[in-house]
A and B are shown apart, each in its own frame.
Chain A
Amino acid sequence: MSRGYLLSAPALALFVALLIVPLGLTLVLSFNLFDYEVGVKSDSYTLANYASLLSDSYFYEIFWRTFWISALVTLLCVVIGVPEAYILSRMGTPWRSIFLILILTPLLISVVVRAFGWSLLLGADGLINQAIAALGGRPLKMLYTPFAVILALVHVMLPFMIIPVWTSLQKLDPAAEQAAQSLGASQAKVMRMVVLPQIMPGVLSGTLIVFGLAASSFAIPGLLGGRRLKMVATVVYDQYLSELNWPMGATIAVALLLANLLIMLSWNRLVEGRYKKALGE
């Protein structure tokens, strides 16, 4: 028992130093008073930051936008990622590894680089608009719209959906699908009644990861959403570095963390509740 603690001590120390302490400091900061003349007053505490967060419709708008963009990204990742993972699991031996690596390679490239890539494509005189102009069409406004943010987020998040789904597909007995067929089920029914319910734990983990990462994403909304299309993380950044109002930034960050936690836990509970008994986990 004590040996176990001893062995996990380095990881625990790292965890405390790099996560718990900063998180605690942020929480304390969010209750500090801010004065534009003198800056953060670390010896006086107030709830004013939270009050102004809750009373300002601007923040509601930002939080709501962050929520629907993240939810839509998650939905799109499910719609694209689940079939992709299924096809992947059905591939023959050389191709499966090749395509799995292909799906994972984007993770090796920095999100910032990929976001710039998208802005080159989607910009006012980007590749796509150049093509449209060459064909005689009117240029489209794509960059700095929710479309650009969602597109890039789906691109970045897809591996996080495919990997857990693929893992749970590995556990499936292929004979179960044959059994369903022999009992008269069409291919669509096999998918809906036999495959999908069994991979729900994977889909659930995928949605949690994707939603969590999308809701707290910074680089993509920052680069592709621009000054107008703010999401929560970019607002936090503004508060810290433009307004220099650290306590307000910390307050928004804490609120994002709590909202994220609340949504993910309820979602987890909702889905798991439906499948827990059947899947025995």
Chain B
Amino acid sequence: MAFLELQALCKRYGPVQAVVATDLSVSQGEFVSLLGPSGCGKTTTLQMIAGFVDVTSGRIVLDGRDITHAKPSSRGLGVVFQSYALFPHMSVRDNVAFGLKMRKVSSSDIRTRVDQVLALVRLTAHAERYPRELSGGQRQRVALARALVIQPPVLLLDEPLSNLDASLREEMQFEIRRIQCEVGITTLMVTHDQAEALSISDRVVVMQAGQVTQIDEPYKLYEHPRTPFISGFVGKANLLPGEYDTLGQPQVLAQAGEGELMLSLRPEKIDLCNAGEGRIQGRIVTRYFLGSQWLYRLETVLGEITVVRRNDGSAPLGTGVAVGLDWPHELLRVLDREACA
């Protein structure tokens, strides 16, 4: 049962099609990410849902109500902005209370509800501070609390983590997911960071050039990317030429050349074995130590191939070493070359 539904949503800026016929249905309580490179129309889509951008054509339906042309103030959605957009002249408490004041909630109710939501985002101790006195992560929490306190049917997050540094970003990722689960709120998040989208979403919508190219659960998206673009954008991938063998199974070509298929093979799915064994031969060009993993770049007849091996504590292979490459052939993924547009 769709709770939030986008039906053939379009946005045109003059001659530019920013969003092309986007369909999406989100169920209640679901966490969906809109993932794509900058300029792919994901933010425009979110802004149309929030009501900040006019819809050119199509419909937005929220819980059975058509909100396509409703004013932002009457949609009642919770929005968290990339810049957080806190009110700098108000304390944390007043920032969070703003939406409740607009709803004319009694001041005693405002107090309890603000206290509750500040406890939820773990900012109780900072209620009387001003936004400028807070760190980036704390501001992010205030923005989240301010959006959640009005108990919106849907929470919209616009690149919520892009202004945070790497370590904080990971922490906030899990924090957002925790809060989302605790409140059980339907959430739509826009991001260009695939790791962010994969780690905390129930489903990921990949957008490219204004169009949705794939909607899937993170795991399926990673394992079954539909297009070369997605396989490269979501995680790392080796793109290899291939063909169908006599049994109708996709196989990598033994020699360099134009295959009839384009295949994707994840770096961690490849085994390294002794030279002369395996499916193809290669030589290690460089290696990078990533802590829990080793990343090798190998030169093969099919061009450069990236292999990731778990750091199992044994000494890594050195550069220049000749090795064989092997992989279970069922892990090869056939990509839709047409859809790469």
Chain B residues with CB below 8 A from A175, complex form:
81-83, 85
What is the chain B residue whose CB lies nearest that of A178?
B52
CA distance A181 to B52 in the complex (A): 9
Interface size class of B (residues with CB under 8 A): 20 to 34
The stretch from B25-33, B97-105, B249-257 touching chain A is: B97-105
A184 at the interface (CB under 8 A from B): yes
Q: Chain B residues near A35 (CB, 8 Å)? A: none
Q: Nearest A residue to B130 by beta-carbon distance?
A: A280
26 pairs of residues in contact across A and B, judged by CB atoms under 8 Å? A175-B82, A178-B52, A178-B79, A178-B85, A179-B87, A179-B146, A181-B52, A181-B72, A182-B50, A182-B51, A182-B72, A182-B73, A182-B75, A183-B150, A184-B73, A184-B74, A184-B150, A185-B73, A193-B87, A193-B98, A197-B89, A198-B87, A278-B90, A278-B130, A279-B88, A280-B88
- The reply to whether the CB of A141 lies closer than 8 angstroms to some CB of chain B is no
Tell me, yes or no, whether B161 is within 8 Å of chain A by CB: no
A43 within 8 A of B: no
Q: Does B12 sit at the interface, judged by CB under 8 A?
A: no
Residues of A within 8 A of B75 (CB): 182
Enumerate chain B interface residues (CB-CB to A < 8 A).
50-52, 71-79, 81-83, 85-90, 98-99, 102-103, 130, 132, 146-147, 150
A173 interface residue per 8 A CB criterion: yes
Q: In the complex, are the beta carbons of A179 and B150 less than 8 A apart?
A: no
Q: Which of B51, B82, B102, B130 contacts A183 (CB 8 A)?
A: B102
B102 touches A176 (CB 8 A): no
Q: Is the CB of B83 within 8 A of A173?
A: yes
Bound form: Cα–Cα A186–B98 in Å: 12
| Inter-chain contact B102/A184, CB cutoff 8 Å | yes
* C-alpha spacing A197/B95, complex, angstroms: 14
Nearest-CB distance from B59 to chain A (Å)?
Answer: 20
Chain B residues whose CB sits within 8 angstroms of the CB of A50 once the complex forms:
none
Chain B residues with CB under 8 Å of A279's CB are 88-89
Contact partner, B102, options A173, A185, A278, Cβ 8 Å: A185
CA distance A189 to B72 in the complex (A): 14
Q: A278-B90, A278-B130, A280-B132 are in contact. Are A183 and B98 (CB under 8 A)?
A: yes
Tell me which residues across on chain A come within 8 A of B130, comparing CB atoms.
278, 280
Query: How far apart sit A178 and B143, CA to CA, in the bound complex (Å)?
Result: 13
- Quote the shortest CB–CB distance from A130 to chain B (angstroms): 49
Chain A residues positioned under 8 Å from B103 (CB to CB)? 184
A180 contacts B by Cβ under 8 Å: yes
The answer to whether A194 has its CB under 8 Å from any CB of chain B is: yes
Residues on the A chain within 8 Å of B99, using CB: 183-184
CB nearest to B50 among chain A residues: A182
A59 proximity list for chain B (CB < 8 A): none
Task: Specify which chain B residues have a CB less than 8 angstroms from the CB of A180 in the assembled complex.
Answer: 87, 98
CB distance A176 to B86 under 8 Å? Answer: yes
Bound CA span A184–B70, Å: 12
Q: Does A275 contact B (CB under 8 A)?
A: yes
B73 touches A186 (CB 8 A): yes
CA distance A173 to B83 in the complex (A): 8
Query: Which residue of chain A has the shortest Cβ distance to B103 in the bound complex?
Result: A184
Known contacts A183-B150, A184-B103, A280-B130: A178-B83 contact under CB 8 Å: no
Bound CA–CA A280/B134 (angstroms): 13
A16 to chain B, nearest CB (A): 38
Q: Is the CB of A194 within 8 A of B87?
A: yes
Q: A184-B102, A184-B103, A186-B73 are in contact. Are A179 and B79 (CB under 8 A)?
A: yes
Determine if B73 and A181 form an interchain contact, defined as CB atoms under 8 angstroms apart. Answer: yes
Q: Which residues of the partner chain A approach B50 to less than 8 Å between Cβ atoms?
A: 178, 182
Q: How far is the CB of B143 from chain A (nearest CB, A)?
A: 8
User: How many Å lie between the Cα of A98 and that of B111 in the bound state?
Assistant: 48
Instruction: Out of A183, A197, A280, name the residue touching B146 (CB < 8 Å).
Output: A183
The 6 A-B pairs of least Cβ separation, nearest first, read A183-B99, A175-B85, A184-B102, A278-B89, A179-B85, A182-B79
Whole-angstrom CA separation of A181 from B70 in the bound complex = 12
Q: Which residues of B contact A185 (CB under 8 A)?
A: 73, 98, 102
Known pairs A175-B83, A176-B85. 9 more at Cβ < 8 A?
Answer: A176-B88, A179-B81, A182-B147, A183-B102, A183-B146, A184-B150, A197-B89, A278-B130, A280-B130
B80, closest chain A residue (CB):
A179
Bound complex: CA of A180 vs CA of B94, how far in Å? Answer: 12
B98 CB contacts on chain A under 8 angstroms:
180, 183, 185, 193
Interface flags, A190-206, vs B, CB<8A=1, else 0: 00011001100000000
Task: Report the Cα distance A176→B79, complex, angstroms.
Answer: 11
Instruction: Name the residue on B nearest A174 (C-beta).
Output: B85
Which residue of A has the minimal Cβ distance to B90?
A: A278
A8 to chain B, nearest CB (A): 31
Give the distance to chain A from B127, nearest Cβ to Cβ, in Å: 15
Nearest CB of A to B46, in Å? 11
Given A178-B52, A194-B87; A189-B79 close (CB under 8 Å): no
In this complex, which of B77, B89, B103 has the most chain A Cβ atoms within 10 angstroms of its Cβ?
B89
How far in angstroms is the closest Cβ of chain A from B43?
12
In this complex, the member of A179, A183, A280 whose beta carbon has the largest number of chain B beta carbons within 10 angstroms is: A183
Residues of chain B contacted by A182 (CB below 8 angstroms): 50-51, 72-73, 75, 77-79, 147
Most A CB atoms within 10 A — which of B71, B88, B150?
Answer: B88
Q: Which residues does chain B contribute within 8 Å of A197, judged by CB atoms?
A: 89
- The residue of chain B having its C-beta at the shortest distance from the C-beta of A189 within the complex is B102
How far does the Cβ of A187 sit from chain B's closest Cβ, in whole Å?
A: 8
Residue contact B87 to A176, C-beta cutoff 8 Å: yes
